[in-house]
Amino acid sequence: AQSVSQHNHHVILSEAASLELGCNYSYGGTVNLFWYVQYPGQHLQLLLKYFSGDPLVKGIKGFEAEFIKSKFSFNLRKPSVQWSDTAEYFCAVNQNFGNEKLTFGTGTRLTIIP
């Protein structure tokens, strides 16, 4: 069974700091990788996704993530965070078969201090 690990449970940063959130998955086959974000009081929204091709993917709001197959990792990055990035971030994976269920990590709560 596949699993997803997010090692940072709560990250606190000041505005303009750089961000990197870790995500590791366990599955030997071909996978699709996602980062979802949940802003306070809002529903889960897709931030970015990787299916194939360039392992560096860019998403909305200046976020990017890099797929490193050898490390089973898909870390999320942003060079300069804003107060509005305060949210919970979930990494998720599914098998590349089409309409496969998502397996989520436990999430990382990000708090940005103005």
Q: Does 72 bind other proteins (CB under 8 A)?
A: no
What's the CA gap between 107 and 91, in Å, rounded?
A: 7
Q: Does 2 bind other proteins (CB under 8 A)?
A: no
Q: Which of 2, 73, 86, 94 binds other proteins (CB under 8 A)?
A: 94
Contact between 35 and 65 (Cβ < 8 Å):
yes
Q: Which of 14, 30, 45, 111 binds other proteins (CB under 8 A)?
A: 45
**49 to each of 23, 80, 111, 113, how far by Cα in Å?**
13, 20, 23, 27
Q: Does 100 bind other proteins (CB under 8 A)?
A: yes
State CA 77 to chain mean position distance: 9
Q: Does 99 bind other proteins (CB under 8 A)?
A: yes
Q: Does 53 bind other proteins (CB under 8 A)?
A: no
Q: Which of 12, 56, 102, 113 binds other proteins (CB under 8 A)?
A: 102
Q: Which residues pair with 94 in a beta bridge?
A: 32
Give me the sign of the Cα torsion angle 83, 42, 11, 52: negative
Q: Which residues bind other proteins (CB under 8 A)?
A: 4, 32, 34, 36, 42-46, 49, 51, 90, 92, 94, 96, 98-107
